[in-house]
């Protein structure tokens, strides 16, 4: 079975079907994987900031608007929204800043907003690898729903 490796750029998301693999690289940004295990359709969003307060800005950059757009696209591609589950990664503190500063708390704020939005849609988070002070490369396997996480100098994880 031939699969495509689809790279998800920053402030964007991609939706595809099994056996494809979605990949992105994260720091303070958060990767949100949504998956319908019955139909093996999933999406990966690479969000930069928690909330979209600027209607002229790219809505795929923000947790609140990107998740809503991705859910619509998943539905349009045959996913059953009732079956969606989530996995999240990222939200690291990549810069040596006070945690109460805007830059120092971006990762924490991103993770909190992602969980809030997923809760609003009644989507269960099955696994997460968040926070810390290191970047991650994530591969989301649409055949199985597994999320593989690689970080320099750390053991690979699978959630």
Tens-digit pLDDT profile for residues 56-77: 889 999 999 999 999 999 999 9
d(CA 103, CA 85): 29
d(CA 94, CA 74): 31
Q: Identify whether the C-beta of residue 46 lies closer than 8 Å to the C-beta of residue 26.
A: yes
Task: Summarize the confidence of residues 135-148 as an average pLDDT.
Answer: 97
Catalytic entry in 22, 29, 66, 149: 29
Residue 73: what pLDDT? 98
**Domains of the chain by residue range:** 5-158
82-135 tens-digit pLDDT: 999 999 999 998 766 555 555 558 889 999 999 999 999 999 999 999 999 999
Task: Say if residue 52's pLDDT is above 70.
Answer: yes
Give pTM, 2 decimals: 0.93
CATH class (in words) of the domain with range 5-158: alpha beta
33 belongs to the catalytic site:
no
Task: Summarize the confidence of residues 6-30 as an average pLDDT.
Answer: 97
Count of alpha carbons within 13 Å of 150, Cβ hemisphere only? Answer: 8
| 3-state SS track over 44-105 | EEEECECCCCCCCCCHHHEHHHHHHHHHHHHHHCCCCHHHCEEEEEECCCCCCCCCCCCCCC
């Amino acid at each position: 079975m031939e699969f495509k490796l689809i790279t998800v750029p920053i402030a964007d998301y991609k939706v595809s079907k099994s056996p494809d693999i979605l990949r992105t690289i994260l720091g303070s940004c958060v990767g949100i994987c949504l998956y319908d295990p019955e139909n093996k359709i999933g999406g990966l969003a690479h969000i930069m900031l928690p909330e979209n307060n600027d209607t002229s800005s790219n809505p795929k950059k923000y947790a609140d608007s990107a998740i809503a757009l991705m859910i619509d696209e998943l539905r349009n591609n045959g996913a059953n929204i009732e079956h969606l589950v989530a996995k999240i990664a990222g939200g690291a503190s990549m810069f040596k800043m006070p945690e109460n500063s805007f830059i120092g708390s971006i990762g924490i704020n991103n993770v909190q907003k992602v969980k809030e939005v997923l809760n609003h849609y009644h989507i269960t988070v099955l696994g997460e690898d968040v926070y810390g002070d290191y970047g991650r490369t994530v591969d989301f396997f649409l055949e199985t729903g597994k999320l593989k996480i690689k970080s320099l100098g750390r053991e690979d994880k699978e959630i």
